[in-house]
Structure formats: C-alpha cells, structure tokens
Chains A and B, each alone.
Chain A
Amino acid sequence: MAMSGGVDSSVAAALLRDQGHDVTGVTLRLWGGDADAGCCSVADVEDARRVAAQLGLPHYVFDFADDFDASVVSPFVAAYVAGHTPNPCVDCNNTMKWGRLLDRALAIGFDAIATGHHARVETMHGALELRRGADAAKDQSYVLARLGPPQLARTLLPVGELTKADVRAHATRLGLRTAAKAESMDVCFVKRGERRSFVAGRAEERPGVMVTTNGQVVGEHTGVSAFTIGQRRGLGVALGERRFVVDVDADAATVTIGRHDDLLCDSQPLRDLRVLGGELAPGSEVLAQVRAHGEALPARWEGGCVAWHRPQPRVAPGQVVALYRDDVVLGGALAA
C-alpha cells in the first residue's frame, strides 16, 4: 500500500485491511531537495507512519530519490528546455509507483500494489478495465492512463468507489490523523510559481525572441522553458488584446504568440500511445482528455491523431492525452 501521508491512501489502507488483505504500508522517499514539501516530505512520512501504526500495519520507507531524479526530474527539465510541457506525475506513476515499487513489491513476494488514487480497476467481459473514480470531481484516471495491462493486473485502488466526502468521513470515523488534511496539488519537487527558476537552476538556456504569427518581432525572452502553448499570462508583451503562446520552437529559441483562434486545430497529433484496454481501431469514436481535471471531448481516433468534433486549442507537446470510451480508459498518448 503506497501511503503518501494523505487522507486517500490512509483510508485505502484501512479498507484493504478490513477486506482481509495482508497489507504493508510503504512511503516513497522521492525528493530531498529544497522544495521538500510535496508528497514525500518528512512530515508526510510521519503521518503515513502514524496512520499505519494506528491501523496495525507494518510501515517502511523506500528511498528512490536517485531514480526519481533520473526518471522524473531530469526529463521534466529536459522537456521544458525542448519547448515541451511534461507531466511529471504521470512519469512518476509509470516509473516509480508502477515501476520500482511494483517491481520491488513483486520481488519481495507481494501480489499487488495499492494506491489512494480515485479510479477503479474492474473486470468486464473477462478483461481488466481502468474506469473513472466514482467521484467525478476527484477522478484521477487521467494520471494512470499510461499504465499497461500487466501493471493494471497488479493494482488495487480501494477508494475509487468512494467520493472524497466518503473518504474523509471514513477517516473521521476511524479517527485517522489525516482526516482533514489538505490535498497536495502542485508538482511535489517544485514550489508553486518557481518552475522557471527550478529549470534555470538545472539547465542552460538560450535567450531568444518572441514573434507574432506573421513574423513580427515583439519582444525577447531568456529561455523557452518559461512558455507553454496556450499560456496567456506572463508573456511580457502588451499588444492591446489577449495574446497566447501558439508555438514554441526550442531550436530557434523562438516563441510565437497569437490570438486564441490561432490555437484552434481540427485534429491533435499524438505519439507514443499506450493501449490500456478495450478496442481502439482507427475511425472509432473516443473521448479525449488533455488535462488532469479537464473535460473529455468527443473526437475520432485516426491512428496517430484525434480528429476533434469541434476545433480545439492545440495541446502543448508532451502533455498526456487520455482516451476514454464512456468512463473506461482506452489508453494514453502524448501530444506531438
């Protein structure tokens, strides 16, 4: 049971225990850097340890900090420098929780890993499916969309059937110290608002120019990592109307800005699709979700891209695009 020290994984551990599973709590130590305030800080480890003790479960800390740096933090920095927009939480799930933790758990002799994600693993027609959590507002299936079927087969998500209110109520009933704890929302290794300086501290960047869609130079910048396609704030130029980043060319160190209309596309190219379940034949209708808590929009899977029913803003390269049928995750790709 991966225990972050938050209320969801606390309750998940309690539920698994009460279902009769032989549960061992593990907290991952992923980051010891300056922003030690995310999901693996000392205070959170202590919360996880205390909850495990209260539930009568053994608890351990696994130190994956070196791997986390190599598998999540370095790619995060490299992506921004390349003008892309990474999703480190998805990378962490794939490489840490469903990577090193799952491998180690299986090596030790455990049958599965469990987390406090709001999503559901269910067997339908003899096949495993990943479905959205019962609480639509808290659904986290998006960040699990790039897992593979073998990983899903070793996964338990005990709070997926509950609403967040149910989870908190259950934690309160059990008297768990995490019952009223605030949720973590930010990337755990970067403090809010400090992404730019974090990237700058780990990578060399070239200054460049900002141009309009017709090539007119309207400003300068110190590095493309500060920009994400679709971004409106912090452009440092005033042109009298709303402008958005519509393209980032890292090779030329050029950021293109334009009107909202310039962002709209009929289709979104994708790469590196990982199919999780269900059928995904070209031409099939899907729902595509481009943000963790964004709306899933109707589209047609064309193999290599999704064709939107109505034009949509271009998705920043590197962002995860999760494909659904109803509330079932079909797979996850990256915006190209």
Chain B
Amino acid sequence: MHYLDHAASTPVRPEAVEAMLPLLAVHPGNPSGGHAAAREAKTALEEAREAVADVLGCGPGEVVFTGGGTEGDNLAVKGSARARRASGDGVVVSAFEHKGVLAPAHRLEGEGFRVGEVPVTRAGIVDLDGLAEALDDRTVVASVMLVNNEVGTIQPLGEVARLLRERAPRAVLHTDAVQAVPWIDVADATRDCDLVTISGHKFGGPKGMGVLVVREGIALVPEIEGGGQERGLRAGTVNVAGAVGLATALRVTHERRVEETTRIAALRDRLAAGLRAALPDLFTNGEQGRKVAGNLHVGFPGVEAEALLLMLDQAGICGAAGSSCSSGATEQSYVLAAMGLPRADALASIRLSLGFASSDADVDACLAVLPGLVQRLRDRTASVA
C-alpha cells in the first residue's frame, strides 16, 4: 500500500510507540494520586509537558493536554469568547478554518456573538483587507489557522497579529496549527498567538491526543469540568501514555524537521512534475510558493475525484478529496469553494499528502498508476456519455 494521505493521519513513529509501551503495559498509576505509582505517572506526564513546551516555545504551565485538535479548537474558540463576554461580542474566523473552529463559531453565534467569516483568496491565503474589516474593538477572539488542511497554504500569522493589535486590542488570537507541525517551526510562527492547537496524529503521535497552548494570563471557560486537571481547563485523568507519545513524536519531528522537509519537498515536487508531464492539463490548488512541503492538491479536468480515488485505492494508493464527513463520503469541499474554485474544478481535485513515512517508492507507484487511471476514466466517461 502506498499511503499518500498524511494530512489526514500519519503512522505512529517507532520512537513514540516505544516510549508509550511501558505506560500502557506496566505502570498503573494515576498522575493525580499520592503514592509511588502515581508519582511515576506524574513524572512521565510532566516530562512530556516540558518536552512539548520546549518545542512549542512556551512554558510547561502553558501546555494543556487535550483529546485532539478538534477539542483544542473548541476549548480555544468557545472558551476564550465566553470568558471575554463582558468586554465584547465579536468572533472572527477565516472562511476555510477547520470545522473544529467553524462549528464552535456557529455555536457562539447562537449564543449572541457576532461571527465574522473572513474571505480567503484564490491562492488560499486569508484576505488581510477582509480581516481588517471584520475586526473591531468589540472583537474578543480571532482564529486563523497556520496551515490549511486541504491545500496546505501557510497563513501570514504575523500580519494577522499586527492587524489584531491595531484594530482589535481586546481580542485574543488563536491558531489551529494542527497541519503545521511537521513542516514549520511552530514556536517561531506562533510567537504572537495567545492560543495554539496541535494534534498528535498529524506528526507521528497517537490519535485522540492533542495540546492547546494557553499563554499565561489568557482566561478560558472550560468545556470539560470535573477534578480540575490541566489547570482546571480540561478535567479528567490525563492520557499519560498519549501525552508521552505525542511529546516523543513532537521532539523527533522537531529534531528532523529541516532534513525531512527537504527530502519530502523533493518527493512532492517530483510527483507534481511527473504528473504534469503525463497530464499537461492538470491544475493545482493553493499557491505553490506558500505551501507546506507535503501537500500536493491537484485537479484533472473532466474527472470525478470520487471515482479516481476509488480506482487509486484499488491500485493500492491512498489519496483524499474534500474533508471526511461522518458517513465517509467526500462532501464538496467548502475550503475550495471559499477559495472561489468553480464547483466542477473542486469536484475534479484530489489531495495527495506526503509525510515522514513517504518514500521514493510511493511516488514511483503513484506516477506509474495515476496518469493511466485518469486517461481510462476520461475515455470511458466519454463513451458512457
């Protein structure tokens, strides 16, 4: 199988598996307890927290372990808006945020907040003029992702933060950095952010484990309440093994980032060039110079992405289109629609995303198979019609 869907999820790095195993199989302790076994778990958890803080450029006390990216987004957007209700009512998000941000924003709208959805450009970048217009001194939270999950474009967070300081001094800035970790120095890119979401399984950690960085002094109303764990922001016994796995994967990813990014960018570029040579009429989505190294978002005029993905799967190649909905169908992408892509082009587009586990063999297999499938699909579609 050739796995070209790393933006959906990655394999767990061997180092993370190894670090997690003793915590799953041997140590029974609850980190909140008072005995030796509890202390062992607590130590593992706090070491993981420190490792995460090191990579993300924050203090250990600013690391809140969550159950994944969507949970972090929910806590950040709803928690910060509700905590600032007295100082304003404006919530501003980009139109192509992950649903983990958009759905909470819509929830807040139902609670009386004003929600502004900032348009994005055809290049896949948040429209800064539109953002400036949406911000005002009643804005309490703005959320702009660091890297878009479908087209892989890197958003200008520095500019976003500057606009916030100028036009919305009361607002906190949240960024969903879930797709950024393998490719970008997140500590540097999120310097100006008050809240930062990451998710373990996008960089070789376990699924269902994430982190929300909550800078000191940023108040949040918690979503999950109970025993006061994670500074009262996320009650419940922490998944210690998950935290250790996430921290280990994050450390390994950080150490190898430059080397891996360089290698994967070359693979991605070879894949793109090979496809273009075989299928000169293909088009790509998202401005090439502003994308992360692992993302190739490509469309084949006249081809139905759903049919092509099925044929790729039959040939042992895993790709994706749109965003997964609960029934497993590929809905028409709201991300591509927000970018102004014509509907027909959006339905003809697929995402091939590479990651640390990708190899030359994956690219070779895809190049060997995909052009022929596109051609067959076009020929047969013509003969059916």
Residues on A lying within 8 angstroms of B by beta carbon are 24, 27, 29, 40-42, 45-46, 49, 58, 60-63, 65-66, 103-104, 106-109
Contact = CB atoms under 8 A, between A and B. Distances in A.
A84 B164 CA distance: 58
A62 B380 contact: no
Contacts of A63: 306, 329-332
Point out which of A41, A61, A63, A106 has the most chain B C-beta atoms below 10 A from its C-beta.
A63
B314 A45 contact: no
A5 to B, nearest CB: 10
25 contacts: A27-B327, A29-B327, A29-B329, A40-B327, A41-B327, A42-B327, A45-B327, A46-B327, A60-B310, A60-B313, A61-B327, A61-B328, A61-B329, A61-B330, A63-B330, A63-B332, A103-B381, A104-B304, A104-B307, A106-B380, A107-B307, A107-B377, A108-B310, A108-B377, A108-B380
B106 interface: no
Interface in B269-296: none
A45 B328 CA distance: 8
Contact of A107 (B328, B331, B381): B381
Contacts of A58: 313-314
B165 interface: no
Contacts of B313: 58, 60
Contact of B306 (A27, A40, A62, A66): A62
A62 B381 contact: no
B53 interface: no
A112 to B, nearest CB: 13
A106 B326 CA distance: 27
A63 B321 CA distance: 12
B329 A108 contact: no
Nearest to A100: B304
B100 to A, nearest CB: 19
B36 interface: no
Nearest to A22: B314
A40 B327 CA distance: 9
Contact of B311 (A29, A103, A108): A108
Given A46-B327, A58-B314, A107-B304, 18 more contacts: A24-B310, A27-B327, A29-B327, A41-B327, A42-B326, A60-B310, A60-B313, A61-B327, A62-B329, A63-B306, A63-B329, A63-B331, A103-B385, A104-B306, A106-B380, A106-B384, A108-B307, A109-B311
A227 B313 CA distance: 49
Nearest to B311: A108
B376 interface: yes
A28 B68 CA distance: 30
Interface in B313-340: 313-314, 326-332
Closest 5 CB pairs of A and B: A63-B329, A61-B329, A29-B329, A45-B327, A107-B380
A305 B304 CA distance: 42
B346 to A, nearest CB: 12
A24 B311 CA distance: 11
Contacts of A104: 304, 306-307
